[in-house]
Chains A and B, each alone.
Chain A
Amino acid sequence: MKKKTYSAWFIALCALFLLFAWENIQATRLGYSVEKARMELQAVRNRNVYLQHRLLSAISPGRVALAARKNLGMVAPEPDQIVKLENETARPFRGWLAKLNVADSISKQ
């Protein structure tokens, strides 16, 4: 009877050791995965920062003015050629301007 009890204890102890070893290995493996995911996340963030920077460079006043002048043949208006629509209900940006505005607000965050 005593022998059986000892054996049971021994087996339980071995199982506990194995469980501990398995848990340790799994934790290490997960550690590698998490680190890899963190690196990927950082890479995506860095890429995002670069893309936002490119967007800001693309819509900088100098480039917009150059494109407007050279590609579209636009000229600067005289002040009295501008009509300000005071009563127009403030409307959010639409179309590509809305996208630009969203991108702009992200970059400001």
Chain B
Amino acid sequence: MSVPTLKSRLNICFVLTLLPALPLAGRLVYLQTVQHEALSDFASREFNRKIPEAGPRGRILDRSGEVLAESLPSWYCSVLKSEAKTPEKIMKALAPVLGMPVKELTGKWQRGKNFICLRKDLDPETAQKVSNLKLPSVSLSMTQTRSYPGKDIARDLLGVVGTDGHGLSGLEQLYERLLSRNMRYREVIKDGAGRIIYRQGERKEKYPPDIRLTLDKNIQFFCQQAIREAVESNRADMGMVLVQEPASGNLLALAAWPQNLHKTPPIQWVYEPGSTFKLITLAAALDKKTIDLSDKIDCEKGAWALLPKVIIHDHTPEGVLSISGVMERSSNIGAAKIALKTGLENFYFYARAFGFGTKTGLNFPGESAGLMRSIKYWKQVDLAVAGYGHGIGATSLQILNAYSAVANRGIMMETRLVDRITDRSGKVLSYRKPMKIRRVISENTADAVRNMLEKTVESGTGTQARIRSYRVAGKTGTSRKLTADGKYTDTQHIASFCGFAPAGNPQFTVLVVLDNPRVKHYGGETAAPAFAEIAKRILVLKGTPADRPEESLTVLAVTPTKNLASESATFKNPLEKNNENFSTGKAGL
């Protein structure tokens, strides 16, 4: 009897033991089934974290893929006051690593409320050193800093990026949407101590696209160097250089000195082009056949009364000149007479066709269309003075485009600054090939104007732009500046020179502009030498063969006994009119 009693008792105990577990089991079933989704989400929120990571901005590259601007990871070191128990110790430990005096760090500590940023833009090595200190309350956060490996190369064109990573000026602003970094979020699981537990299924990192410009880093560098020297030697207020490939419209360099990171004068600055505009006057007249190359123009011995109170002067008195002579001698009177002969409608039509009064289409922030009034406001006097580049405003880019059109045998190409848009691996995402805008003048007219420009450099006002062994075509320009009350001043000028080389097969067009040169003020004396310097460098860089070989000197052949590595040889070139001294230098650069 006792055995069944014991057994039943044991069963009762077993049931009693299990009984409390039953509601628990029921609750478990309820939580795992009915409440599963809600609880799972809650748990995810507790342990899973989305960590923001600042991705880099897209890079800006030059035409050969050299990096002009890129983003670098950097760190900022911060401290939380509420968590720091021994601030003196922390500051003393951080000072040598951050390269800051303890006093400065203590000052930041005292001024700050709770979160104090001690130092920004730390490189990986310094960040690692800070991390190794394992200081409580000190944290490191990664961010991206915009960096320019070429230092000041095209910096004003590239523009500025703010601390928030947004472009504020230049190309950084223009292509903000394309270049802007993506704030990436990485999902992780963190433990109770805040340590990250890796989570599978991380997406591959995505980078914003890169922009490849048409600029050539080396040519840009030469231009920056040359314009700086020209500005300093002429004590000018400002100078700029633009280089373009006439056949494609590609801009190879845009440089200004002094550099201003918030301004791009080659695109934004408007000035009276002066005599460089005579190219348009001559081209319009020849293309419209209102004049013939055999025509003669009386240049009135240097002063011509267009109206009783309007007297046009030449810088040197000239008598009767040929059409080419007007260009070579840069006669204002001759140009004014040709403009009047061409007629207002024709002149205006050609000026617009060459791109004056309209933007180039670069969409660059602050780009100007120049100043060209509507034709209905023009009078005869306006036409006459516009013939030699006064009374109208142009940007350097417009002048450059006009000369490039002549160099390209009358065809104007679209101005290109961005060549293509690629991904990180170089795969082309977007490419727009060079486009013809229009034929501005006929091939014959372009050739005729080119010959005149060549003569201008050979024997006219632009002789200082000559380059031995190469044919150069170009035109000088000097205009007086306007004062605040709208009157021309005799003391301030804008000197310029625009030309292309080699004249037979133009590879590049260069425009040099100097604002208010104080030593000399004519374009032929100030801008032309800078043009020659830049053109020489580009010819060397491109290895362009000489197109006037009879003038070239075989240096090594005439100085066989000289040790070129140790001393320089100086001699005169009998073929050159100027008999300039020529030094071989020590070695090639």
Residue of B nearest to A38 (CB): B198
Chain B residue contacts of A68, Cβ below 8 A: 589
In the complex the two chains form, is A53's CB within 8 Å of B197's CB? no
Query: What does the 1/0 interface line of A54-67 toward B look like (CB < 8 Å)?
Result: 00110011100100
Q: Known: A46-B124, A57-B151, A108-B65. Is A77-B588 also a contact (CB below 8 A)? A: yes
B223-262 vs A, Cβ < 8 Å mask (1 yes, 0 no)? 0010000000000000000000000000000000000000
Complex-state Cα separation, A107 to B150, whole angstroms: 14
Task: Pick 17 A–B contacts, CB within 8 A, sort by A.
Answer: A31-B197, A35-B188, A35-B197, A43-B128, A46-B124, A50-B123, A56-B67, A56-B150, A61-B217, A62-B150, A74-B586, A77-B589, A78-B536, A80-B469, A82-B543, A108-B65, A108-B67
The residue in chain B whose Cβ has the minimal distance to the Cβ of A68 is B589
Main secondary structure of the interface of A (DSSP, over half): helix
Asked if A89 CB lies within 8 Å of chain B CBs, one says no
Q: Which of A38, A76, A109 has the most CB of B within 10 A?
A: A76
With a cutoff of 8 Å between Cβ atoms, the chain B residues found around residue A57 in the complex are 149-151
Please, how many angstroms separate the alpha-carbon atoms of A82 and B217 in the complex? 20
B95 at the interface (CB under 8 A from A): no
Q: A46-B73, A57-B149, A61-B153 are in contact. Are A84 and B589 (CB under 8 A)?
A: no
* A68 CB, nearest partner CB in chain B, Å: 5
Identify which of B149, B197, B546, B584 contacts A79 (C-beta below 8 A): B546
| Given A61-B218, A76-B537, A79-B544: A50 and B72 interface contact (C-beta under 8 Å) | yes
A85 to B470, CA, bound (A): 19
Q: B152 — which chain A residues lie within 8 A by C-beta? A: 62
A81 and B149 alpha carbons, distance in the complex (Å): 31
A69 to B588 CA separation, bound complex (whole angstroms): 10
- For A47, the chain B residues whose CB sits under 8 A away are 124-125
CB distance B123 to A76 under 8 Å? no
Q: Check B552 for interface membership: any CB of A closer than 8 A.
A: yes
Minimum distance in angstroms from A74 CB to a CB of chain B: 4
The answer to whether A109 and B73 have CB atoms under 8 Å apart is no
Bound Cα distance from A79 to B549, whole angstroms = 12
Contact of A109 among B128, B196, B424, B470 (CB under 8 A): B424
Residues of B near A72 (CB, < 8 A) are 587
Which chain B residues border A31 with CB–CB below 8 Å?
A: 189, 197-199
Question: What B residues does A82 contact at CB under 8 A?
Answer: 540, 543, 588
Q: Which of B122-177 contact A (CB under 8 A)?
A: 123-125, 128, 147, 149-153
Interface residues of A in 33-53 (CB under 8 A from B): 34-35, 38, 43, 46-47, 49-50, 53
Closest chain B residue, CB of each to CB of A81: B555
Contact with A along B37-76 (1 / 0, CB 8 A): 0000000000000000000000001000111001011000
A28–B196 alpha-carbon span in the complex (Å): 10
| Interchain CB contact (< 8 A) of A73 among B65, B544, B582, B586 | B586
Give bound CA distance, A38 to B188, whole Å. 12
Q: In the complex, which residue of chain B has the Cβ closest to the Cβ of A83? A: B543
Q: Is A90 an interface residue (CB 8 A)?
A: no
The reply to whether A75 and B586 contact each other, CB–CB distance below 8 Å, is yes
B426 contacts A108, C-beta separation under 8 Å: yes
B536 / chain A contacts, CB cutoff of 8 Å: 76, 78-79
> Known: A32-B198, A50-B72. Is A79-B218 also a contact (CB below 8 A)?
no
In the assembly, what is the distance between CA of A98 and CA of B191, in Å? 49
Question: CB distance A107 to B589 under 8 Å?
Answer: no
10 shortest interchain CB distances as A-B pairs: A56-B149, A75-B585, A61-B221, A31-B197, A79-B539, A34-B198, A35-B198, A80-B469, A77-B588, A74-B589
Task: Decide: B197 and A75 in contact? CB cutoff 8 A.
Answer: no
A107 vs B539: C-alpha distance when bound (angstroms): 28
Chain A stretch 11-47: residues in CB contact (< 8 A) with chain B: 28, 30-32, 34-35, 38, 43, 46-47
Contact between chains at A81 and B128 (CB < 8 Å): no
How far does the Cβ of B280 sit from chain A's closest Cβ, in whole Å? 30
- Collect the chain A residues with CB atoms within 8 Å of residue B112's CB: none
Give Cα A43 to B124, complex, Å.
Answer: 7
Residues of chain B at interface, number, CB under 8 A:
54
Q: Quick check: is B482 within 8 A (CB to CB) of the other chain? A: no
Extra inter-chain contacts (8) besides given A56-B150, A60-B150, A78-B540, CB under 8 Å: A47-B124, A57-B149, A57-B150, A65-B221, A75-B585, A75-B586, A79-B468, A82-B540
> What's the least CB distance linking A34 to chain B, in Å?
4
Answer whether residue B195 sits at the interface, using C-beta atoms and an 8 A cutoff: yes
Smallest CB separation, A33 vs chain B (Å) = 8
Question: Are A107 and B67 in contact, CB atoms less than 8 angstroms apart?
Answer: yes
Chain B residues with CB under 8 A of A84: 543, 545
Question: Is B279 engaged at the interface, CB distance under 8 Å to the other chain?
Answer: no
Q: Is the CB of A62 within 8 A of B153?
A: yes
Residue contact B124 to A79, C-beta cutoff 8 Å: no
Q: B425 interface residue, CB < 8 Å from A?
A: yes
Q: A32-B195, A80-B553 are in contact. Are A75 and B468 (CB under 8 A)?
A: no
Q: Does B467 contact A (CB under 8 A)?
A: yes
Docked-complex contact A75 and B589, CB < 8 angstroms = yes
| Contact A53 B149, CB 8 Å, known A46-B124, A65-B221 | yes
Give the CA-CA distance A35 to B195 in the complex, in Å: 9
Interface string of A78-109 (1 = CB under 8 A from B): 11111010000000000000000000000111
Residues of A within 8 A of B467 (CB): 79
A53 near B147: Cβ-Cβ < 8 Å: yes
Q: Do B540 and A69 have beta carbons less than 8 Å apart?
A: no
Residues of A within 8 A of B425 (CB): 109
Across the interface, do A50 and B589 meet the contact criterion of CB distance under 8 Å? no
Q: Are A80 and B552 in contact (CB under 8 A)?
A: yes
Interface residues as binary, B196-221 with A (CB distance below 8 Å gives 1, 0 otherwise): 11110000000000000000011001
How far apart are the CA atoms of A1 and B139 in the complex, in Å?
Answer: 64
- A81 partner, pick from B195, B196, B198, B588, beta carbons under 8 A: B588
Q: Write the chain A residue with the least CB distance to B67.
A: A56
